[in-house]
Amino acid sequence: MATNFASHHCLVVDDFQGMRYLMRDMLRECGAVHVEMASNGKEALQRLLERRYDIVLCDYNLGQGKNGQQLLEEAKLRQLIGPATTWIMITAEKSSDWIMGAVEYQPDSYLLKPITADLLLSRLEKIAVRKQAFADIAQAMSNKQYTRAIALCDERLAYDTVNASELQRLKGSLLLDAGEIDAAQKLYETVLANREIAWARTGLGRICFQQGEYEAARDHFQISREQAPGYLEAYDWLARTQQRLGDAEHAESTLSAALKLSPNSPLRQKSLGELALQRGDLDVADAAFRKSIAVGEHSILKTPEAYLGLAKVCSKSSRSDEALKVLKSVQHQFSDDDVALRAKSAEGMIYTQENQLSKAGAVANELKQMLQERATRPDSTASLEVAELMLATGQRDQAVSLLQDVVRNNHEDNLLIDKVQAVFDSANMKAEGSNLVEACRREAVELMNSGVLLARDGKLPEALAAMRGARDKLPANARVLFNFAFVAVMYLQKLGTDEALIEESRQALREANRVSPGEKRFSQLMDALNKLEQR
Amino acid sequence: MNPSSPQPDLATILASSVHDMKNSLGLMGRLLAKHEAVWTGISAEAQSEYSHLLYEVNRMNANLISLLTLYKFGKGLYPFDPQPCQPAEICEEVAMQHRVLLSASKVVLHIDVPDDLVWHFDADLIAGVLGQALTNAINYTTDTVRIAAGVEHDELWLAVEDNGRGYPPQMLVDSRKAVSGVDFSSGSTGLGLYFAEHVAQLHRNRERIGSLRLENGGPLGGGRFVITLP
């Protein structure tokens, strides 16, 4: 049972030298040999970039700059640590900041000061045992092999009673990822038959949400919130559901309640700002966006939307100068092409509102240039915002082509298509816009089916060529991407394995899963590709 | 202070002072424990005073943590989210935290908790409650204390038992029959008990609710502190 830590690489992160040495000595008492130290988040990131660590002991308070939680989030998101790394957070008292964060950003354990070497050793050993138990499942999960991960959970559930609850939680979320809704629902109901458990209740709520049963979803999330007020995921879902039910007021108070428990979440603060802005509650929106920006200063989870939202609030409150300043700063903070497009569009809209038409026109031309220079297509939100400005400045063709592209790539996303229509409406192009949308939808459906019909007739090479063409035209359309992979699998099964095509199909599937997660076809087609490879 | 500045909230001042006191007591406890070896060669009386010193520091530290937690409960700021836990692990850690106090007090601790037991509860709160009960038991026992756990009637029970003289009759409690009616004016035991009862009742499973009992007897024949969690 005892783990040998002699070969482990350990990192101690603490801003106090005395504490660093104390931790290092404790790790040595536990049998560790390779112990390195960092005194702040920046230094720690440097170390984490240089090598893969097995154990990280990190104090929550790191003085100026990132705190321990922000460091962990960045390390996870940038994949500087993997599921095999043990991360222990050290803190003076139980705080809601990380306990209440999303599961994927939680440390493996936290230790309340004062810490002793025997306590540390005992924790390290327990975590090592747990990591071992979950190692193959974690591996399958990071390869997005949902079917395999689910099978591994089942295998383990048959004998591992100690980890049963965690295994069921994992299995539930894997079933949702794999689009196995019925199985997930059954699992959650079985768990809830024994005891009220927040993740299972929230899981049921998510299923109802996905099926558009918003009232039932709301009830589930509310039960979860009452039973486990510290399980914040339920609050986020509840707010989303209340919004779908048109109850923006309660959605706002739900988010406020969650933020009382975890004020340092840049994403949740941003969501509150967006809700308040939508309700026209400019004071609340202003404060929430500012708070999101402030708490996100050192966080990898900071969002451009907080800045863009704040700019909108400023411009609505007739503080255009401030709005323009915020738009400058968002481009400075995020070197991202889509963010630049959105900031520029917002800038142009401010000029049109102020009747500074030549300035607005100049911005529109600048945007045109930016669109020509970039290699990839802009995301839907950026496209919509750019199109809005183009219409306002009379660049009709440019706007129409952007909006057509959005519809073609998302022809089944009704919420998004409503937004496209709204942009046409506000430019007095209601009927014309509606015709354009309809035509694009038809076009997308035709492209989507093009290869599938040929494949059914047995014309596999022609089918593959047709789907490839469709994919190149609609590179972000999940239906098209799935159908491309589907036809490719048929082709491979009939005409023999081709590694390049397998990889091409995997890439299409990964993109489809990114655009539209939780679809059954993703794991089915991935499994089929894995089987083909093993032949 | 500027008369127009907002009135500071007394509860917040108290909480932040308690926090500060807790840190300094924590440091004291660590220093005391660190010099454990020095105290072994001294007279029996001094040894007993040393163990008493450790006991008081432990007790105060636990009290301050209870106060801070109660403050968070009151403000709706405690992140209560029960998780599947292994009582055996929690008990082992509680024992580690009491290692020095146990050896200075020459008290033997038995842990009698099944390894494969898993139950849903808030590990930090339960560890806090058990720690306080253990500190208390070490002080009042003759020479042995025991932590035990099991499942009965679909409830987890955790007990801290000693072989001392037991609780005086007026302290015996069963929160299912009557609230303990903790009387803070009567002295030292109020806060720990109040906290434990609060923590027990925070743990619910649908309509069922946790409970607290102080009784005498049990395998060791002394006081017996029992918390049950549905």
Condensed to tens digits (0 to 9), the pLDDT of residues B63-80 reads 998 998 998 898 888 888
B72 lies in some domain: yes
Task: Quote the pLDDT of residue B9.
Answer: 81
pLDDT band (50, 70, 90) for residue B5: low
B113 lies in some domain: yes
Query: Nearest CB to A119: which of B76, B86, B93?
Result: B93
Residue A477, phi-psi category: left (phi > 0), alpha (psi -120 to 50), beta (remainder): beta
State the nearest Cα–Cα gap between B182 and chain A, in angstroms: 26
ipTM: 0.83
Task: Quote the pLDDT of residue B165.
Answer: 94
Measured between alpha carbons, how far is B65 from B73 in angstroms, rounded to an integer? 12
Task: Quote the pLDDT of residue A256.
Answer: 94
Number of domains in chain B: 1
Q: What is the pLDDT of residues A476-513, one digit of tens each?
A: 999 999 999 999 999 999 998 889 999 999 999 999 99
Task: Quote the pLDDT of residue A98.
Answer: 58
Q: Which residue of B has its CA nearest to A229?
A: B80
Q: What is the pLDDT of residues A330-348, one digit of tens each?
A: 999 999 999 999 999 999 9
Q: Which residues of A touch B77 (CB under 8 A)?
A: 96, 260-261
Of the listed ranges A89-98, A467-476, A503-512, B82-91, the least confidently predicted one is A89-98
Query: Average pLDDT of B136-163?
Result: 96
Query: Nearest CB to B84: which of A93, A166, A260?
Result: A166
Q: Which residue of A has its CA nearest to B27?
A: A114
B3 lies in some domain: no
Task: Quote the pLDDT of residue B11.
Answer: 81
Q: What is the pLDDT of residues A222-259, one digit of tens each?
A: 999 998 888 999 999 999 999 999 999 999 999 999 99
Q: What is the pLDDT of residues A272-327, one digit of tens each?
A: 999 999 999 999 999 999 999 999 999 999 999 999 999 999 999 999 999 999 99
Measured between alpha carbons, how far is A345 from A236 in angstroms, rounded to an integer? 29
Query: Average pLDDT of A145-165?
Result: 95
The verdict on a CB contact (< 8 Å) between A94 and B118 is: no
B1 lies in some domain: no
Query: Average pLDDT of B212-225?
Result: 94
- Which of A94, A122, A253 is the best mutation test for B, with the most CBs of B within 10 A? A94
The rounded percent of chain B whose pLDDT value lies above 70 is 92
pLDDT at B189 over 80: no
The verdict on a CB contact (< 8 Å) between B81 and A93 is: no
Helix, strand, or coil (residue B130): helix
Helix and strand numbers (H, E) in chain A are 26, 5
Dihedral sign, Cα of residue A266, residue A271, residue A276, residue A277: positive
Q: Which residues of B touch A261 (CB under 8 A)?
A: 76-77, 79
pLDDT at A369 over 90: yes
The verdict on a CB contact (< 8 Å) between A114 and B30 is: yes
Residues A107, A72: contact at Cβ < 8 Å?
A: yes
B174 lies in some domain: yes
Q: Which residue of A has its CA nearest to B31?
A: A114
Domain range enclosing B98: 10-229
Query: Average pLDDT of A114-141?
Result: 91
Residue type, A151: A
Q: What is the pLDDT of residues A398-441, one digit of tens each?
A: 999 999 999 999 999 999 999 999 999 999 999 999 999 999 99
Measured between alpha carbons, how far is A347 from A65 in angstroms, rounded to an integer? 31
Task: Quote the pLDDT of residue A154.
Answer: 97
- Which of A195, A202, A223, A224 is the best mutation test for B, with the most CBs of B within 10 A? A195
What's the angle, vertex CA A82, arms to CA A77 and CA A83, rounded to 5?
A: 115
Q: Which residues of B touch A100 (CB under 8 A)?
A: 79, 81
The verdict on a CB contact (< 8 Å) between B205 and A92 is: no
State the nearest Cα–Cα gap between A9 and chain B, in angstroms: 25
Residues B113, B126: contact at Cβ < 8 Å?
A: no
Residues written for chain A: 535
pLDDT at B186 over 60: no
B38 lies in some domain: yes
Measured between alpha carbons, how far is A113 from A115 in angstroms, rounded to an integer? 5
Q: How far apart are the first and last CA of chain A?
A: 39
Task: Quote the pLDDT of residue B170.
Answer: 86
Burial class (CB in 10 A: 0-12, 13-18, 19+), A327: buried
Task: Quote the pLDDT of residue B72.
Answer: 87
Residues A214, A244: contact at Cβ < 8 Å?
A: yes
Query: Average pLDDT of A105-130?
Result: 89
pLDDT at B188 over 80: no
The verdict on a CB contact (< 8 Å) between B118 and A161 is: yes
* Cα separation values, A507 from A242, A380, A496, A497, A518, Å: 36, 20, 19, 17, 17
Enter the tokens of residue A488. 């490719």
Enter the tokens of residue B49. 């005073």
Which CATH number is B156's domain given?
3.30.565.10
The verdict on a CB contact (< 8 Å) between B93 and A161 is: no
Q: Which residues of A touch B68 (CB under 8 A)?
A: 93
B134 lies in some domain: yes
Of the listed ranges A169-178, A433-442, A447-456, the least confidently predicted one is A447-456
Task: Quote the pLDDT of residue A101.
Answer: 63
Of the listed ranges A228-232, A314-318, A471-475, B11-15, the least confidently predicted one is B11-15
Enter the tokens of residue A344. 């520029």
B58 — phi, psi (to 5°)?
A: -55, -45
A509 — phi, psi (to 5°)?
A: -65, -40
B2 lies in some domain: no
How is A269-294 classified by DSSP, letter by letter? Answer: HHHHHHHHHHHT-HHHHHHHHHHHHH
